[in-house]
Amino acid sequence: MRHPGTPTDDAPAPDRRFLFLQGPHGPFFGQLGAMLRAAGAEVWRVGFNAGDAAFWPDGRSYLPFAESPDAWPARCAALLDDKRITDLVLYGDIRPIHAEAVRQARARGLTVHVFEEGYLRPYWVTYERGGSNGHSRLMQLGVEAMRAALAHSDPDLPDPPSHWGDTRQHIWFGALYHWHVMFRNRRYAGFRPHRALNVQQEFRLHLKRLLLLPAHRLERHLATRAILRAGAPYHLVLLQLEHDSSFQAHGPFETMEAFLRLCIEAFAAGAPRHHHLVFKAHPLEDGRSPLRPDIARLAAEAGVSERVHFVPGGKLALLLDHARSAVTVNSTAGQQVLWRGLPLRSFGAAVYDKPEFVSDQPLEAFFAAPARPDSRAYRAYRSYLLETSQVTGGFYSARGRRELLRQVLDMILAPQDPYDALASGNSAPRQQLRLVK
């Protein structure tokens, strides 16, 4: 039942009242809020630290939350009621403050707008209503239902770009955000980060990563070249950030080491003796997890040190182009695997985990003879995503934000979410991706 006194989500913008919580590092949420105000909506932003405040330029609509996390449920309820909020906007739905706000918003019948990194990275952003990743509506949608919905459209799909896009800007805004939290956070005495590391540690990791980008680029180039020049067949393991919400909340492993051990032991037992195993780190891996020493130790214990390799982040396309198969917990990079028609084995809840194209073989058997995906089914699935929740653009570069804002504002104000709009034949024309090198 909808909260008394609030309009439905098909109300015109002047009758909509948006509450923003935490967004991606950088200016995107501030710019989106300004555009919603320009459309006539009322917009508020709750800030939980100085980093949130730094990227929200409209001080009149900024609501600082300086209490301890225990006080958030009551404060959230008061804000939703006192401001007569109709729409909640957030980035990811897993962190505790967001999960609590989503729970209360649903109880009141409010519309929940969730942004996430693109399921089809790098040149797309995910926009959904209600939840993302393991909480996405995609988890309950089968390929045949997607094909039926696609009967209402005639998609012209772009090829996936082979590079990340705005990694440097992502790292820069992350470092700047944590600088504000570290040096200007006196006002927020009750602030507690949602990750295990404290703010000083987060800032040092972001800064170190930014400064070492040239050295890491050279290291990646040399490691990739050595693997490709060796000429041996190899399987690729797509690693994620251990602190990432998809790994933590939607995966079966408590630690990254547990996943590494499973992969290496299954490879040693099942893969042909001339095959190799390549671990590819996440592009934003910052060293908080000891991946390289853990992989070396586990490979030595399994007796496969000469056949196991590590590549520290960087571009994925070149390694995927020559791989036999890929394994992941639930990385969005699994989409690039399936687009190439390569066998994929995943272990966590993922929006692409459909029986038509993701293997359910025991990992030892997968390394021995990986089952290939149904590429036609995957193409239908990918078409569905590009017609619904995947929006061209990005959060971090100025060009990416412009591309994103041109489209997503109307999607937020639309009466239906992207999935219902396509199924009913009411989806708006989507901007085609223009690749600019």
Do 44 and 20 meet the contact criterion of CB atoms below 8 Å apart? Answer: yes
Position 265, amino acid = E
pLDDT digits (tens, 9 = 90+) for 137-161: 999 999 999 999 998 776 655 554 4
Q: How many CA atoms lie within 13 A of 273 on its CB side?
A: 1
- Multiple choice CATH, 17-166+389-424, 3.30.300, 3.40.50, 1.10.287, 1.10.490: 3.40.50
Cα 420 from chain centroid (whole Å): 22
The yes-or-no verdict on residue 57 having pLDDT over 60 is yes
> 432: part of which helix (H) or strand (E)?
none
Can you give the three-state secondary structure of 173-187, one letter per residue? HHHHHHHHHHHCCCC
For the chain, the domains span 17-166+389-424, 213-381
Residue type, 421: A
Class of domain 213-381 as given by CATH = alpha beta
Q: Give Cα 388 distance to the centre of its chain.
A: 16
Largest CA distance in the chain: 68
3-class DSSP assignment, residue 20: strand
d(CA 304, CA 232): 14
DSSP3 helix / strand / coil % (the chain, rounded to 5): 45, 15, 40
- Full DSSP string of 215-280: HHHHHHHHHHHHHHHH---EEEEE---TT-HHHHHHSS-SSHHHHHHHHHHHHHHHS-TT-EEEEE
Is 122 or 420 the better-scoring residue by pLDDT?
Answer: 420
Indicate if 213-381 has the same CATH topology as 17-166+389-424. Answer: yes
pLDDT tens-digit readout, 228-241 = 999 999 999 999 98
pLDDT digits (tens, 9 = 90+) for 323-356: 999 999 999 999 999 999 999 999 999 999 999 9
